[in-house]
A and B are shown apart, each in its own frame.
Chain A
Amino acid sequence: MATKASRSAARIMMAPAVILLLGWMLVPLIMTLWFSFRVYLPLRGGDQGWAGFDNYTRFVTSSAFWPSVQTTLIIVLGVLAITVIFGILIALLLDQPIWGQGVVRILVIAPFFVMPTVSALVWKNMFMDPVNGLFAHLWRFFGAEPVSWLSDASMGSIIMIVSWQWLPFATLILLTAVQSLDSEQLEAAEMDGAPFLKRFWFIVLPHLSRAITIVILIQTIFLLAIFAEIFVTTGGAFGTRTLSYLIFQRVLESQNVGLGSAGGVYAIILANIIAIFLMRIVGKNLD
């Protein structure tokens, strides 16, 4: 590897960029920390002095806090499960020789390009509306009572919408991994008479483990912060209030920036716990 001289030269040359980078990312963090210790009420004249740990205790003792953490985790886990499982299946299918592979791939990745706001609006109004939505028409066609998706199956609906958006991402990464699989090994296993499930379990899945790790890691980062999908569909009602939505309610609806910032600090702590947890379990895959 690098010599001692080049190592230090690289350090010196790269240090400014790294420091700048870290510094830039520290700014919002420090601001959140600062405001979390202040009584900051924009509609009552702004910053009104120190609050001590009041914001922290108030945020965590609020009846909405634990349910919101739970909701966040359910949504993240639900979406991860759906996108990983279906991502693997679709990736395996797309890897087979089929006619029009390019077009199918385009169809499958298309949702990734749709703005979250647009996809939430489309799903909510044109599919899940209990009167005019396509699902309602479909249900009625089969003689069933239309379902009020966003109230009666609120969590499932949101998980579905978000999964639809993230399935292409998972599929793409998994597909690249599937394509790099050594086909000779598989063929040999097939000749030995290993059934599909066995081949999948002992050859395909281990090969995909690294890609699955990446999918989980990247998606978790984005899923922990999902906002538009909830803002547009349920507005946090029917048990869909995630931690980031609760913070939104504290900051913008209740106009209590101090309290919301304390919530932001909790959110970062939660994010880091999850990140460390992820690394412990799957970190070895990343080296």
Chain B
Amino acid sequence: MARSVTPRRKLLNTTVAWAIGLLIFFPILWTILTSFKSEAQAIAAPPIFLGFDWTLENYRVVLERSDYARFLWNSIIIAGLSTVLGCIIAVPAAWSMAFVPSRRTKDILLWMLSTKMLPAVGVLYPIYLIFIELGLLDSRAGLVVVLMLINLPIIVWMLYTYFKEIPGEILEAARMDGATLRQELLYVLTPMAIPGIASTLLLNFILAWNEAFWTLNLTAVNAAPLTAFIASYSSPEGLFFAKLSAASTMAIAPILILGWFSQKQLVRGLTFGAVK
């Protein structure tokens, strides 16, 4: 609904929008700034905004203490694989729900979503026991499966809303031309659904990256991702604001950068069928 406005109006809008944007972003900016301060300056009163002695000391300490690369790599693998796997399983399911709907489709979808509301901690012991049984504790494979299952309902739902927006006539036409179900799926549907699939992948990558219950409780060393990295810097003894800020910056930077670069894609696809 964008329209042309007077320059004065535009200036006003710009000012307000920038003010709000900076306000919302400020906590992150403050964390990044604090990560370059010494511990003493991090709690100085009154707070120092830019005129402090910039130092990389906190990053040095954090890198020396923790194997950041390993945590980062685990986060990438676990979030990435669980998302891809989830999509592979969800595409057919969402497809059948969108194009061959039955009376129960909406109920099933809703029920799937409601399973996400099950508090994870309630099943910690059973899942832990199953993991021991299967030898999956502290393995990336185990986490990939768990995170995939957790996010599956959202993936199915997102894909379902995209598929529903694809006009049925195109599929009809393909079928008339004698396309098989497989061909229909592969050559007609998938290309059209690519923006949707891409933003589904992105959103679920973010969700998996930020998941902090299972990734903490089912890992020790080999599969521990960045959430476990953060848990070793939250509230230790002594002053810790600056080191915590450095660790936090390192934990969110990769996903923040990915998010920024792909934000157009994310915005385009993140409609959940909200736009008709």
Q: Per-position contact with A for B5-46: 1 when CB-CB < 8 Å, else 0?
A: 100001001101110111011011011001000000001011
Q: Are A181 and B1 in contact (CB under 8 A)?
A: yes
**Measured CA separation A92–B28 after assembly (Å):** 24
Q: Are A115 and B227 in contact (CB under 8 A)?
A: yes
Q: How far is the CB of B172 from chain A (nearest CB, A)?
A: 8
Q: How far is the CB of A156 from chain B (nearest CB, A)?
A: 17
Set B99, B118, B153: member contacting A267, Cβ < 8 A? B118
Whether, in the assembled complex, B198 has its beta carbon less than 8 Å from a beta carbon of chain A, the answer is: no
**Measured CA separation A175–B271 after assembly (Å):** 9
**Measured CA separation A32–B115 after assembly (Å):** 12
Set B4, B34, B210, B270: member contacting A126, Cβ < 8 A? B34
**Measured CA separation A99–B2 after assembly (Å):** 13
Q: Are B112 and A21 in contact (CB under 8 A)?
A: yes
Classify chain A: how many residues form its interface, as a range: 35 or more
When C-beta atoms are compared, the residue in chain A nearest to B244 turns out to be A121
Set A13, A100, A211, A263: member contacting B92, Cβ < 8 A? A13
Whether, in the assembled complex, A60 has its beta carbon less than 8 Å from a beta carbon of chain B, the answer is: no
Q: Are A10 and B99 in contact (CB under 8 A)?
A: yes
Set B21, B43, B149, B273: member contacting A25, Cβ < 8 A? B149
**Measured CA separation A170–B231 after assembly (Å):** 28
Whether, in the assembled complex, B212 has its beta carbon less than 8 Å from a beta carbon of chain A, the answer is: yes
Cβ contacts under 8 Å, B271 to chain A: 173, 176-177, 211, 214
When C-beta atoms are compared, the residue in chain B nearest to A242 turns out to be B119
Q: How far is the CB of A277 from chain B (nearest CB, A)?
A: 11
The prevalent SS among residues of B at the interface is helix
The prevalent SS among residues of A at the interface is helix
Q: Can you list 30 A-B pairs with a CB-CB distance of less than 8 A? A: A1-B168, A3-B175, A14-B93, A14-B100, A17-B93, A18-B93, A21-B93, A21-B156, A29-B118, A32-B122, A42-B125, A95-B1, A98-B13, A98-B14, A108-B24, A110-B28, A111-B25, A112-B259, A113-B256, A114-B252, A126-B241, A127-B27, A164-B24, A173-B271, A176-B270, A214-B271, A218-B154, A221-B113, A244-B121, A268-B114
B residues adjacent to A (C-beta < 8 A): 1-5, 10, 13-14, 16-18, 20-22, 24-25, 27-28, 30-31, 34, 43, 45-47, 89-90, 92-93, 95-97, 99-100, 106, 108, 110-127, 149, 152-154, 156, 168, 175, 181, 206, 209-210, 212-213, 226-227, 230-231, 234-235, 241, 244-245, 248, 251-252, 255-256, 259-260, 263, 266-268, 270-276
A residues adjacent to B (C-beta < 8 A): 1-3, 6-7, 9-11, 13-14, 17-18, 20-22, 24-25, 28-29, 31-32, 34-35, 40, 42, 90, 93-101, 103-119, 121-123, 125-127, 132, 134, 137, 141, 164, 167-168, 172-173, 175-183, 186-187, 210-211, 213-215, 217-218, 221-222, 224-225, 227-228, 232, 243-244, 247-248, 251-252, 257, 260-261, 263-264, 267-268, 270-272, 275, 279, 283, 286
Give the top 10 A-B pairs by smallest Cβ distance, nearest first.
Answer: A264-B122, A14-B96, A271-B117, A107-B21, A211-B274, A244-B119, A31-B126, A107-B25, A181-B1, A104-B21
